[in-house]
């Protein structure tokens, strides 16, 4: 390949490459969303496979079974205020501050419950104990909220019922639970949970959230870099920069490595990554056959662009 211009026009100019530096951003976000869906799909399959297995007995140590009858009946303003505080911290991220589900929350295509209109599907119903049991053990796609004590769980239940269900969904509001309340008030607690109802550790949800957030941050970072690297004034360098953009859009993980090499000033690694990208089977020899001087010029431009987001 020669860099010289042909004065007689023997070689047609290279066609302009049309790229959109932000297309791959949407692709990366879609991949992250797919991985989150795949995670919960895998967890669901595990729960289905565990059905029919003997229950796991969990000893709660010195904890006592709460006085369900007393807690279910106490819907004083003090309890409701406490429930509101806990709801904001523990529930609003998915169910919304106003009881309306947050768009995009939930998993497996299941939206969080709308407390203004949705019926309660759990076996214990929508009474105070019914909602308490969902908070304690989880139900469907909702995990258990084990960081809140029984008194707080009942407070959340009363806040939900008295604030939204009673006013906007009276057909789903019942004064007392239809199921018999467990005996409590001091006896040592001993509960049984079948394997398919074991709560998912909260740390797993935090890990998935961090992973998705990091993927989104990486996508924005690379988009900024590609936008800054896309329009050099030199015609030949502009063509090479567009090729670099197209390569990163096709191979996002490689793009992240190229970005790190450019930002770190590692020209040798940057060039090695580019030329290795044209290995057999990739369908491209743009960079493998490019003179070292052009590769060095592209690195200099990429390094300068990588500093644009500092």
Least confident of 17-31, 158-172, 277-291: 277-291
Q: What distances in angstroms separate CA 303 from CA 131, 142, 170, 282, 298, one per listed residue? A: 56, 46, 63, 25, 8
Write out pLDDT tens, residues 31-89: 888 888 777 777 666 566 556 666 655 555 445 778 888 988 998 999 999 989 998 88
What's the burial of 189, exposed, middle or buried (CB within 10 Å: 0-12/13-18/19+)?
A: middle
- What single DSSP character describes residue 163? I
DSSP secondary-structure letter at 196?
A: G
Q: Which of 31, 50, 51 is nearest to 39 (CA)?
A: 31
Q: Which of 143-157, 175-189, 248-262 has the lowest mean pLDDT?
A: 175-189
Burial of 73-98, coded b for 16+ CB within 10 Å and e otherwise, reads ebbeeebbebbbebbeebbeebbbee
- Greater confidence (53 vs 156) lies with 156
- When pLDDT is averaged across residues 87-112 and rounded to a whole number, the result is 82
First-to-final CA distance of the chain: 36
pTM of the predicted protein model: 0.42
Give pLDDT, residue 187: 44
CA distance 162 to 175: 11
The residue that leads in pLDDT, 290 or 24, is 290
- Can you tell me the distance from the alpha carbon of 305 to that of 224, in angstroms, rounded to the nearest whole number? 9
Burial class (CB in 10 A: 0-12, 13-18, 19+), 191: middle
Contact between residue 155 and residue 149 where contact means Cβ atoms under 8 Å apart: no
Highest mean pLDDT among 24-38, 49-63, 114-128, 245-259: 114-128
Compute and round to an integer the Cα radius of gyration of the chain.
29
Cα separation of 155 and 179, whole Å? 19
Which segments within the chain are labelled E, that is strand?
Answer: 56-64, 188-193
* pLDDT cut 90: percent of the chain above it: 8
Q: At what angle do helices 23-50 and 252-263 cross, to 10 degrees?
A: 120
User: Do the beta carbons of residue 113 and residue 95 sit within 8 Å?
Assistant: yes
Q: Which two tokens stand for residue 32?
A: 């992250």
**Residues pairing with 191 in the sheet:** 58
Q: Does 18 have pLDDT greater than 60?
A: no
DSSP 200: P
Per-residue confidence (pLDDT) for residue 151, from 0 to 100: 93
Q: What average pLDDT is seen over the chain?
A: 76
Count Cβ neighbours within 10 Å for each residue of 194-210 and write b for 16 or more, e otherwise. Answer: eeebbeeeeeeeeebee
Q: How many residues does the chain have?
A: 310
Q: Is residue 1 predicted with pLDDT exceeding 50?
A: no
Those residues with Cβ within 8 angstroms of residue 175's Cβ, 6 or more apart along the chain or in another chain: 127
Task: Encode pLDDT of 214-239 as tens digits.
Answer: 656 665 666 677 676 666 778 888 88
User: Other CB atoms closer than 10 Å to residue 308's CB: what's the count?
Assistant: 11
- Residue 135: pLDDT above 50? yes
pLDDT class of 281 with cuts at 50, 70, 90? very low
């Amino acid at each position: 390949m020669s860099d010289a211009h042909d004065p007689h026009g023997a070689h047609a100019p290279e066609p302009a490459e049309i790229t959109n530096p932000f297309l791959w951003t949407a692709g990366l976000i879609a991949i992250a969303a797919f991985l989150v869906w795949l995670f919960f799909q895998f967890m669901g399959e595990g729960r289905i496979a565990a059905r029919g297995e003997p229950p796991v007995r969990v000893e709660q140590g010195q904890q006592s079974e709460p006085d369900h009858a007393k807690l279910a009946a106490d819907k004083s303003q003090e309890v409701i205020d406490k429930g509101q505080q806990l709801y904001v911290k523990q529930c609003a991220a998915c169910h919304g501050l106003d009881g309306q589900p947050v768009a995009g929350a939930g998993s497996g295509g299941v939206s969080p419950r709308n407390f203004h209109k949705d019926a309660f599907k759990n076996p214990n119903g929508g009474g105070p104990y019914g909602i308490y049991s969902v908070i304690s053990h989880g139900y469907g796609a909702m995990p258990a909220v084990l960081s809140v004590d029984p008194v707080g769980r009942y407070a959340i239940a009363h806040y939900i019922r008295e604030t939204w269900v009673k006013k906007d969904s009276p057909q789903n509001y019942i004064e007392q639970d239809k199921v018999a309340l467990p005996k409590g008030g001091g006896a040592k607690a001993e509960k049984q949970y079948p394997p398919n109802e074991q709560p998912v550790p909260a740390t797993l949800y935090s890990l998935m959230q961090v992973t998705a957030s990091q993927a989104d941050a990486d996508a924005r970072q690379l988009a900024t870099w590609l936008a800054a690297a896309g329009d050099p004034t030199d015609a030949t360098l502009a063509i090479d920069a567009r090729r670099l953009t197209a390569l990163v859009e096709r191979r996002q993980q490689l793009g992240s490595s190229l970005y790190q090499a450019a930002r770190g000033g590692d020209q040798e690694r940057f060039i090695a990554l580019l030329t290795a990208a044209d290995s057999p089977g990739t369908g491209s020899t743009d960079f493998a056959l490019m003179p070292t001087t052009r590769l060095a010029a592209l690195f200099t431009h990429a390094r300068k662009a990588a500093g644009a987001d500092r």
